[in-house]
Amino acid sequence: MNILMVSAELAPFAKVGGLADVAEALSRSLAGRGHDVRVVLPLYGSLDRKKEKIRTLKKLPPLSLRVGGRMRDVRYHLRGSAAAGVKVYLVECAGLYDGRGIYTDQNGHGFGDSLERAALHAQAALLLPRLLDWPVDIVHAHDASGCPALLYRDTWYAERPLPGPAATVLTIHNLAHQEVHPPDSTEVLGVPRSLASYPGLLEFHGRLNLMKAGVLAADRVNTVSPNYARETVQDPGYGCGLEQILGSRGAEYTGILNGGDYRTWDPRRDPHLKQNYGPGKLAGKARCRQDLVRELDLQALPQTPICGFVGRLVGQKGVDLMLPIMGRLAEDGFCFAILGTGEKRLEEAVRAVAERHPDRVAFVDRFDEALAHRIYAGSDLFLMPSAFEPCGLSQMYALSYGTPPVVRRTGGLADTVVDAGLAGGTGFVFDDARPEALLQTLRRAEEVFADPTAFAALQKQGMACDFSWEEAAAGYEALYEAALERRRS
**Amino acid in position 259:** G
* Residue 324 maps to a domain: yes
237 and 306 assigned to the same domain: no
Rounded alpha-carbon distances, angstroms, from residue 26 to 16, 211, 376 = 17, 21, 24
Confirm if 453 and 142 have CB atoms less than 8 A apart.
no
3 and 137 in contact (C-beta within 8 Å)?
yes
- Stretch (H or E) spanning 87: strand 86-92
How far apart, in whole angstroms, are the C-alpha atoms of residue 22 and residue 363? 29
Interatomic CA distance for residues 351 and 285, integer angstroms: 27
In this structure, the answer to whether residues 211 and 342 fall within a common structural domain is: no
Domain that holds residue 375: 282-466
- Same structural domain for residues 185 and 293? no
Residue 273 falls within a domain, yes or no? no
**Are 45 and 68 contained in the same domain?**
yes
Name beta bridge partners: 3: 37, 138
Q: How far is CA 461 from CA 170, 226, 280, 404, 421, in A?
A: 34, 22, 12, 10, 13
- What does the DSSP 8-state code read for residue 161? P
**Taking a C-beta distance cutoff of 8 angstroms, is the pair 337, 309 a contact?**
yes
For residue 188, tell me if it sits in a domain. yes
Distance CA 430, CA 328 (A): 19
pLDDT along the chain (489 residues), means of 10: 96 86 94 96 90 91 91 94 82 86 77 92 96 97 97 89 94 93 94 93 96 98 97 95 97 97 94 95 95 98 96 93 98 97 94 98 94 98 96 96 98 97 97 98 98 97 95 97 95
Beta pairing class for 138-142 and 63-67: unpaired
What is the pLDDT, as a whole number, of residue 371? 97
- Same domain for 38 and 170, yes or no, is yes
Q: Are residues 420 and 476 in the same domain?
A: no
Whether residue 291 sits in one domain with residue 251: no
State whether 91 and 207 are in the same domain.
yes
Distance from C-alpha of 288 to C-alpha of 276, rounded to nearest angstrom: 8
DSSP 61: P
Cα distances (Å, whole numbers) of residue 55 to 8, 20, 75, 91: 19, 21, 11, 11
Look at residue 276 and tell me if it is in a domain. no
Q: Is residue 269 part of a domain?
A: no
Q: Are residues 454 and 477 in the same domain?
A: no
Strands 381-384 and 306-310: parallel
What is the model's pLDDT at position 11? 87
Q: Residue 473 in contact with residue 360, Cβ under 8 Å?
A: no
Tell the burial category of 299 from Cβ atoms under 10 Å away from its Cβ (0-12, 13-18, 19+): exposed
Same domain, 475 and 461: no
- The residues with which 313 forms a beta bridge, in sequence order, are 342
Structural domain includes residue 277: no
Q: Which positions ≥6 away from 320 have C-beta within 8 Å?
A: 346, 435
Q: How far apart are CA 198 and CA 252, in angstroms?
A: 23
CA 195/CA 208 separation, integer angstroms: 9
In this structure, are 322 and 243 located in the same domain?
no
E strands present in 127-219? 138-142, 167-172, 180-181, 203-204, 207-209
Report the number of distinct structural domains present in the chain: 2
pLDDT attached to residue 83: 60
Give every CB contact of residue 368 below 8 A, 6+ residues apart in sequence: 339
Backbone angles phi, psi at 155, to 5 degrees: -120, -75
Q: What is the CATH number of the domain that holds 250?
A: 3.40.50.2000
Question: Smallest Cα–Cα separation from 426: which of 467, 391, 386?
Answer: 467
319 within domain boundaries:
yes
* Exposure b/e, 241-268, CB count within 10 A at least 16 = b: bbbebbeeeeebbbbbbbbbbbeebebe
Residue 39 has a pLDDT of 97
Q: What confidence score (pLDDT) does residue 82 get? A: 63
Measured from the Cβ of residue 293, the count of other Cβ atoms closer than 10 Å reads: 17
Among 126, 141, 104, 168, smallest CA distance to 22 is for: 141
Pair (385, 433) in one structural domain: yes
Pick from 140, 459, 421, 125: which is nearest to 288 by CA?
A: 459
Q: How much is the pTM?
A: 0.91
Residue 196: inside a domain: yes
- The reported pLDDT for the residue numbered 81 is 66
